[in-house]
Structure formats: structure tokens, C-alpha cells
Structure 1
Amino acid sequence: MEKMKLKLLYSDLKSDIEVIEKELETALNSSSHFLNDASLHLLKAGGKRIRPVFVLLSAKFGHYDIEQMKKVAVSLELIHMASLVHDDVIDDSEMRRGRPTVKSQWNNRVAMYTGDFIFARALQYITDIDNPKAHEILSKTMVEICVGEVIQIEDKMQLDQNIRDYFRRIKRKTALLIASSCHLGAVVAGTDDQIASRLKRYGYYVGMSFQIIDDILDLTSTDKQLGKPAGSDLLQGNITLPVLLVRDDPAIRPLIEKALEGTITEDERQELLGKIRGSEAIKKAKKISDTYLQKALREVDALPQNSIKKSLRDIALYMGKRKF
């Protein structure tokens, strides 16, 4: 239902999104049956295709050419997909979007090579864009994503980390790729630098808001809605904003520590979720997410008059206010 609501917000792009979807299938085709099956397994799990949408919307402020834009959009979506495959290996995740992960369906080695293959395909697609700045943006983004993966490993289980560490982590995990989607769409479409920079900032703020909401929903949604146990981030050792905001509560911290140690029982998991849901942490985290959202909306307001501004505003509001 939520995915359908999102798709209605960019229904004008339906035919172009279908072009990108077909191109993604082509991009994931290889001579290896293993790679084919593993890559398509991930693609068929679906996704909101948020990054391609931001590429296309941002390109509407310049010279819009779907043949050019699809190369950018496919490249960015492939980077996102590759990072998910690698994330699932790092987090030892069995499920994603209600389906077995690549590492679960096959094994860690197949998953790592599948992720590498998808990353390589992303680079292959962007080489068709004759714009050195686009290559520079994408390469820097990929470096930062990789650095972010290592930082996430370093921060695992670290309950006493600084909240700034969390923001630094989600910047690289989510916000940078959304910012780069907006930036690349604008740059390849030939918009002026000021508009491109504003769209980049918009994407960054939306990405930060989106990830904070994602981390909240991991604790407030049901197991069925998530397709995995609620609180999975914490069970995997990933400390998110709501947890950081309640970690000093003497009634909650012992349960958090048990979750990190892997000794928490099912009853205790439910108790922990209930206590976090009933705390002020959820409201505080939502308020921080909303601060980023409002910054994103101010960037939209400052853009030149264009019918696309409404779509950018509506999608930002959806991503920052979604219930699941």
C-alpha cells in the first residue's frame, strides 16, 4: 500500500521508470547462471526505485533526455542494490523485504561476488556519459559508501558512541546516494551549478530524514510489516537514533545490552520494543527527522518555478512522514 502511494506521486514518470526497470534487467544479465540468479533474485524483491526517480525529477530542471538519464539512474540503483547485498553479509541478515537475502539463498561468497559484479555494472553504465564531472561525482560517492560500510562495522555494538557518529554513519549509508542521484540528474541534464547544488542539498536532507524514519520504523513496526523481527538493527548490533536516545534509561539499558549480547529472549524483545515505543525517544527522533525534512523543503522552495517542484515536495513529505 505504501509503495503504491509513492508511485502515485511520480505517476507522470511511469513510462520512463518502466524503461529503467527493463534496463536494470539487462544490466544484471551475465554469462554466469549463479550471478544471473542471485542478481535477479534481488531485483525481483522489488524496491521503491527512489534513486532513479530523483535522477529523473532533477533532470527536469535541465535538458531531459531519457536515453541519457536511464544510464545515470541505472548506475545509481545498481550501486544501491550492490550495497544491500554487501550489507546483508556484514549484518548476517536472512531476510530482506520479506524474502531470503542473497547470502541466505546461496552463501556469503556468492553474495560478495554478486555485490562486486553489480558495482562493476554500475561503473560500466556511467562510462557512457560523456561528462567528467558526472564520473567524479559517482566515484567520490562510491568511495564514501565504502568508507561508510567500514565505519558501520567499527560502530557495531558500541552503545556509548556519540550521536554525531550515528549522523556520520547514516550520511554515508543513505543520504549521500540520494544526494548524488539529485546532483547527477541535474549535472547530466546541464542545469546551472546553483540549481544542481540546491538539488544535491535537497537530496541530502531528504536522505537523512528518510533513514531516521527507517530506523524508527524498525522499532515501531510489526514483524509482519517489516518481513523480519522488529528491532533487527539492534539485534545485529547496529545502534540507531532511538536507541541512543534511551540508552541511559535504567529500565531499558539492561534489555538493550542483552539484545547486543544475543541473549535476549522473545518475551524480553517484546518488552524492550514496548518500552522504546512508549518512551520519548520516538518523538525526539521524529522531531530530528522533521528538522531535516523542513530543510529539504526550503531547498525546493528556492528552486526556479517548475511543475516538478510539487513532486519533489510531495515525495519529501512522503518519505519523511511515512508510517511503514
Structure 2
Amino acid sequence: MREKKLVVAVSSRALFNLDESHTIFETQGKEAFCRYQIEHEDEILEPGYGFVLVKKFLSLNDGCTNDPLVEIILLSQNSADTGLRIFNSIAHYQLKIIRAAFTSGVSPYSYIPAFGAHLFLSTNADDVAKALCAGFAAATILCGPSMEHHSDQLRIAFDGDSVLFSDESEQIYQQYGLDAFAENERCKAKQLLPGGPFKDFLSALHHIQMQFDPESSPIRTALVTARSAPAHERVVRTLRAWGIRIDEAFFLGGIDKGAFLEAFGADIFFDDQKGHCESAARHVAAAHVPHGIVNRNG
């Protein structure tokens, strides 16, 4: 029996393109929005930025009968009444999503622990920030895939500091510069980095990977970081101590990450710096993790 499954919570606007109805909400108000959604509830929504990723997550359950590896939860600020269009679209695309919370305009982040979610993906930056402050892995998905990846394997890439790890070292870099950062990492090479907001999500991915031979794993992960040698040693030792496998690691010393993410074939890339996300978005789907000193200063 599996100890746990991976649970990913996704907002309705991350799953489907709701730009038209959202514009009505912003310009004409809630009543007009509700009326529009009900009048159009039989019209199928177009996929949103997170649609392809959700399909890949759900495909991990192919061949599973009674014990799925992954569950997708819908967290929506729609009401149950206006959310009927969303579930009609879920049925149309044959997405196996059966659990949802409709909160009628209230941020749904507080239901993340009730569902046991390891990750929350949304297009609402405020909801994401609240989820992160509450200690959950969350990201604002900024774009969809810019190219067609033909691999059936789910490929997820992470930045290091402020994402997989805490922003402890990033604070030194931001306050005192690269030389001070490098010296700190040399001195603390054997001292483990504290975990960041995505540590538990990576651990849940690793739990699935461990149920397969490495050659046949349906998931492949990558660390894509601006760190360079000798600052790599602390990262390697930390992951080893956590007992978590990263399949590929790129220590890029500050050069642009986009080409490496494209070569890796990332289905999504998580980074704490919005500028890095926007650069990566030219190549792959990117999601901003508004955590750590860079975002506090911004």
C-alpha cells in the first residue's frame, strides 16, 4: 500500500481561460459576472496556463486502479452555481477531478491543508502569497507551455534558494554581494541548508519516483540555479541528507536559464524571481514563487 499520494490544488483560472468572464467581473461587477457564467454554462472553456500540466499530472494515474498516485483538487473563488460551467468543462476534457471548493469570492487558500495539498497553483498572486505565508508550496503560474513537449514524462524544474531551500543564503547575496555569498557557502559547505517552501512537494514527487526504476520513472526533476562552484557543494550535501533525488542539476553561475530549461523539456519551472520567470517563459511554462528577501524588497 502506498503511504501517500501527491495532491495538487489548482485554481479555476489556472486550469481554464476565464479572462472574458473575469473582465466582466472587474468592469461590471459580481452580479453581471454570475449572470454571464450561468448564461454560458454549456459553453466549454478553453484551456488555461495550467491545463497541460494538470493533464500530465493526471496521466501519472494511467494504469492505477484503486490507488492513484496523484489527485487534482479544484480551488475556486466561483460559487457552486457559477462553477457549474467549470465542471462541465472538466467533464468535456475528461479530466478526473472530483473534489472542489467553491468559495464565492473568498480566497480559497485556507482549504489547502484540509485537502492535504502539496502544491497550490493559481493565477491570483494574492492567494499564492497567502498560501506561502501559511507555509504551503504555492506559485503564480505566469504562462502556459510555449512549445510542444512530446515526452510523456512529467518534467519539473526548480530554482534553489527561496524555492527548494530557504532564502538564508540569498539574504547574504542581496545584502552583501556575490563575494560574501560565495565565502559564506564555502564556510558552511557541510552545514545543511534549511528547507524552503517546495521541499515537501519535491519530497512527494520523489516518493512517486521511488516506486519505479529510474529508467522508467514517469517523473524527472531538475535543479536550475544561478549558484556555481564552489557554492554547489552545500546544495548537494543538503539533498543527500534529505534523501531526495534530483535527476539533473545545473549550476549556471548567473547565465540565462531559458535555454537549459528548453533542453531539459520542462513542463513547468518554479523560481522566486519574477524576472527569471519572465525570461524562462520564452521557452517553457513558468510559475513565480513570491517568497524570500527578493520579494519582500520588491
Query: By percentage of residues, which structure has more strand?
Result: 2
Judge same fold: TM > 0.5, yes or no: no
State the TM-score, normalized to the length of structure 1: 0.27
